[in-house]
Amino acid sequence: MISQVFILSSKGDHLIYKDFRGEATTDAINVFYQMVTALPGDQPPVVMTREGLHFIHIRQGGLYCVATTTTNASPFTIIEFLNRLAALIKDYCGSLSEKSVRMNFALIYEMLDEMLDYGYIQTTSTDILKNFIQTEAVSSKPFSLFDLSNVGLFGAETQQSRVTPSASASRPIMSSRGDQGGKNEIFVDVVERLTVVIGANGVLMKVDIQGEIKVKCYLPTCSEMRIGLNEEFSVGKSQQRGYGAAVRVDECNFHQAVRLDEFDSYRILKICPSQGEQTVMQYQLCDDLPSAPPFQLFPTVERDKSDRLLIYLKLRCDLPPKSAAINVSVTVPIPKGSLSMSQELSSPDQRAELQPSSKAVHWEISRFPGGAQLSALFKLEVPGLSAASLLEVGPVSMSFELPKHTCTGLQIRFLRLTPVQPNPSPRWVRYVTHSDSYTIRI
């Protein structure tokens, strides 16, 4: 049972405050903000308690979403509820940010009023909520031609080779009533988060892929949708299917509403998506990557005659030639005493800088095509360079995005709405892999 719900900006501005039970005062907001900002560095901030009132919060989009309770409630339930609240705000307002919350406060109050009564969760399903919510969302991001400039971020090869701007999926689900073009779209996203540790000898030490298939549906009512996965898709260690290279995951679980009667034989998921975004399927794969990891690093660390530290990095992208990694950033920890750096980069579209605060060199590459190899030489001025300083270099961590690529090889064969509708609504499939943590030991 939840006593209060409030949303604060990162600066502590009160954006939303709703008291459900009258058990605690509005002062709780200030108490919370003081506690959360006074926490020493690495304390877990998730649950805090002051005078019998428990504060449970999540941080998303730079906002604190907080629930307070006086009972010893289930932390899983409350955290899941706050996550759901954040997701609903994203669905209804287009995005979750200080601005969108400020602009749509009336809508969010209305939502909270229906979601919770006397602190008890009533419903969080978009299908039910949309019957009750009457306020229209104010979109904080009006459509602009500039949004079209990042075409190519996501591909959409379902039926035509047309491309959809990524911004079109971040608009409110309810804002547009009536029949204008491009309204009733369905987005199916395959998002994978990749965690990799590569040892100093180049051997893969850990691979972990967390993937999910999300459906974002703008149709007010949607008939049954069939999502066809690769036929070779197999779950578990022993199972093998089809003749081609198997697409294997260790475990997968599905949304409650997914019907799986054709999953075993045809790898088809059937679902009637409700308006808004929902995760249809989650899957995990560890230890066994079907292809080479996207990046290999060949580092050399040595000291030259004038006692400078030389770090020579050769980075190779092992993606297929048609794909490319974007927003690649490489972080190399360096000895504490480093003063200055000179650099030689292999092409002009890269940048590198020494960040004295974090004692690291950041090397950024905006676009890194598959099969390419880039190199960088950093010469560091380190007073009192010793053999021990060399040990301080590394491990290298990377972050990047791989659009149009899944590391498991999971693909969506088709998306079909049944019965076939007279005006087929645009359907988009997008693939993206994010690096959750990509570490290379030196």
Residues within window 33-62 making contact with another protein, judged by CB under 8 A: 41-49, 54, 56-59
d(CA 441, CA 124): 44
Nearer to another protein by Cβ, of 155 and 394: the residue is: 394
Q: Which stretch binds another protein (CB under 8 A): 101-109, 155-163, 225-233, 269-277?
A: 101-109
Q: Which of 259, 314, 359, 413 binds another protein (CB under 8 A)?
A: 359
Least distance CB 176 / another protein (angstroms): 18
Interface with another protein in residues 249-268 (CB under 8 A): 251, 253-256
Nearer to another protein by Cβ, of 133 and 374: the residue is: 133
Contact 348, 422 (CB under 8 A): no
Nearer to another protein by Cβ, of 348 and 384: the residue is: 384
Nearer to another protein by Cβ, of 90 and 427: the residue is: 90
Q: Does 127 help bind another protein (rule: CB under 8 A)?
A: no
Nearer to another protein by Cβ, of 255 and 413: the residue is: 255
**Contact string 145-184 vs another protein (x = CB under 8 A):** ----------------------------------------
Residues in the interface with another protein (CB under 8 A) total 90
Q: Does 425 help bind another protein (rule: CB under 8 A)?
A: no
Q: Does 369 help bind another protein (rule: CB under 8 A)?
A: no
Nearer to another protein by Cβ, of 156 and 196: the residue is: 196
Residue whose C-alpha is closest to residue 352's, from 383, 313, 378: 378
Interface with another protein in residues 273-332 (CB under 8 A): 282, 284, 286-287
